[in-house]
């Protein structure tokens, strides 16, 4: 990154942002909206600082940091959106926690690593919209599952579930949620197809056996339409699929295992995809059976298959052609 004369640590909450300038040791609070962002830049200019020479740094706080990311990006100002765990572990032992202290710690972190940090870019607008739809779908599915479990418990307490008011009310709500989930899925598919690149990558990923609708959409979201990671190995590491060594000196030689800091949602989805692929993909099915028969642990073999699926998905997108089984070509 370019040379900066100041770092601005920003602690973002729902309604406000706390800004701390590391070199000048000044703190100020602004509203978390466009008016507040405009006042932030005016404040920095009033201190005889060029906003282009200030490194803005803040933690990734989901929806709360999206507006600030786009505001800075549109004005070609460098900013870094960092994983909160990375900043937290770099601070050391801290007893107090206030918004001002958090902003100060972020500013200190950015200043020390100003030569190492890479400028962030906000995800495309359609990715943000797709993420919003997927989040809503997940909430609807959770509510539907909870109501289905409640219905099973109620059935045991009534003699005639078909005429019971509570059970009928639950049935109507479950059916309504089902319709809403289908509606959201149609809108998601329409949004994906509205973008040529997203639509093409989505269809290509679906050609890999074991990859369903939810996993294909989540791959688009987590990879920002396959632009966020340079290779499938980076994405596997991000998902916690790459075994990490655990060794120290001559006495500690633990077995390699996935790192606990990973994207557990993607890891879970890939696990279900691997189980499905073993059932429907003849090549992977034979591979799984042969490795298990040789005494390999089942979860170890499934993890290898998860990596194979990630590799296949990235390969189809990179080549721009659908996945074809090797045995079909050989035949």
Per residue in 287-324, pLDDT tens? 999 999 999 999 999 999 999 999 999 999 999 999 98
- Whole-number pLDDT of residue 88: 87
Confidence of residue 331 (pLDDT cuts 50, 70, 90): very low
Higher-confidence residue of 262 and 46: namely: 46
Q: What percent of the chain has pLDDT above 90?
A: 74
Q: For residues 84 and 106, what is the distance between their CA atoms, to the nearest angstrom? A: 9
Q: How far is CA 282 from CA 13, 210, 263, 272, 327, in A?
A: 50, 12, 29, 17, 9
Helix (H, G, I), strand (E, B) or coil at 4: coil
Whether residue 4 is predicted with pLDDT greater than 70 in this model: the reply is: yes
Computed from CA positions of residues 2, 112, 59, 37, in that sequence, does the dihedral angle turn out positive or negative? negative
- Cα 72 to chain centroid distance, Å, stands at 22
CA angle (90, 96, 98) in 5-degree steps = 90
Helix (H, G, I), strand (E, B) or coil at 321: coil
Q: For residues 299 and 292, what is the distance between their CA atoms, to the nearest angstrom? A: 10
Mean pLDDT of 67-73: 95
Q: Which of 36-40, 248-252, 325-329 has the lowest mean pLDDT?
A: 325-329
Q: For residues 331 and 322, what is the distance between their CA atoms, to the nearest angstrom? A: 18
Backbone angles phi, psi at 132, to 5 degrees: -65, -40
How many beta carbons lie within 10 A of that of residue 57, not counting itself? 27
Whether residue 8 is predicted with pLDDT greater than 90 in this model: the reply is: yes
Shortest CA distance to 318 belongs to which of 181, 159, 197?
197
Mean pLDDT of 266-281: 94
Element (H, E) at 2: none
Can you tell me which residue has the tokens 């549109």?
74
- Whole-number pLDDT of residue 327: 63
- Whole-number pLDDT of residue 95: 77
What are the residues facing 65 on neighbouring strands? Answer: none
Q: How far is CA 35 from CA 42, 68, 86, in A?
A: 11, 11, 30
Tokens matching residue 295: 């005494």
Q: For residues 115 and 118, what is the distance between their CA atoms, to the nearest angstrom? A: 8
Contact 114, 124 (CB under 8 A): no
The mean pLDDT of the chain is 90
Helix (H, G, I), strand (E, B) or coil at 32: coil
Residues 6 or more apart whose CB falls under 8 angstroms from that of 71 comprise 34, 37
Per residue in 71-123, pLDDT tens? 999 999 999 999 888 888 888 777 778 999 999 999 999 999 998 899 999 99
pTM of the model: 0.85
Higher-confidence residue of 119 and 159: namely: 119
- Whole-number pLDDT of residue 328: 58
- Strands (DSSP E) found in the chain: 6-12, 16-21, 26-31, 54-59, 79-82, 243-248, 252-258
How many beta carbons lie within 10 A of that of residue 300, not counting itself? 11
Whether residue 163 is predicted with pLDDT greater than 60 in this model: the reply is: yes
DSSP conformational letter for 13:
-
- Whole-number pLDDT of residue 329: 56
- Whole-number pLDDT of residue 315: 95
Instruction: Answer left, alpha or beta for residue 195, where phi above 0 means left and psi between -120 and 50 means alpha.
Output: beta
- Give the total residue count for the chain: 331
- Whole-number pLDDT of residue 16: 95
Q: For residues 184 and 201, what is the distance between their CA atoms, to the nearest angstrom? A: 20
- Whole-number pLDDT of residue 309: 96
């Amino acid at each position: 990154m370019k040379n900066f004369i100041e770092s601005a640590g920003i602690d973002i909450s729902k309604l406000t942002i706390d800004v701390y300038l590391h070199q000048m040791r000044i703190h100020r609070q602004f509203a978390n909206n466009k008016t507040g962002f405009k006042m932030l830049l005016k404040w920095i200019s009033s201190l005889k600082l060029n906003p282009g020479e200030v490194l803005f740094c803040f933690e990734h706080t989901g929806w709360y940091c999206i507006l600030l990311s786009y505001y800075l990006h549109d004005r070609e100002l460098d900013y870094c959106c960092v994983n909160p765990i990375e900043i937290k572990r770099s601070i050391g032992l801290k007893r107090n926690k206030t918004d001002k202290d958090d902003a100060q710690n972020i500013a200190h972190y950015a200043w020390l690593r100003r030569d190492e940090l890479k400028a962030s870019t906000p995800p495309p607008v359609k990715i943000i919209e797709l993420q919003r739809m997927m989040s809503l779908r997940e909430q609807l599915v959770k509510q539907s599952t909870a109501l289905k479990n409640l219905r099973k418990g109620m059935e045991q307490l009534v003699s005639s579930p078909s005429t019971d008011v509570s059970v009928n009310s639950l049935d109507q709500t479950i059916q309504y949620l089902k319709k809403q989930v289908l509606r959201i899925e149609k809108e998601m598919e329409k949004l994906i197809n509205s973008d040529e690149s997203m639509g093409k990558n989505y269809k290509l990923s679906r050609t890999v056996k074991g990859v369903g609708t939810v996993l294909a959409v989540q791959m688009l979201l987590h990879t920002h339409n396959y632009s966020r990671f340079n290779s499938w190995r980076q994405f596997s590491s991000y998902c916690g699929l790459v075994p990490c060594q655990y060794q120290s000196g001559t006495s500690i030689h633990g077995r390699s295992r996935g790192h606990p800091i990973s994207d557990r949602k993607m890891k879970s989805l890939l696990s279900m995809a691997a189980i499905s692929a073993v059932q429907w993909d003849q090549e992977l099915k034979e591979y799984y059976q042969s490795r298990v028969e040789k005494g390999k642990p089942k979860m170890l073999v499934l993890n290898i298959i998860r990596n194979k699926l990630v590799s296949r998905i990235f390969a189809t997108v990179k080549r721009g052609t659908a996945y074809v089984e090797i045995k079909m070509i050989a035949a």
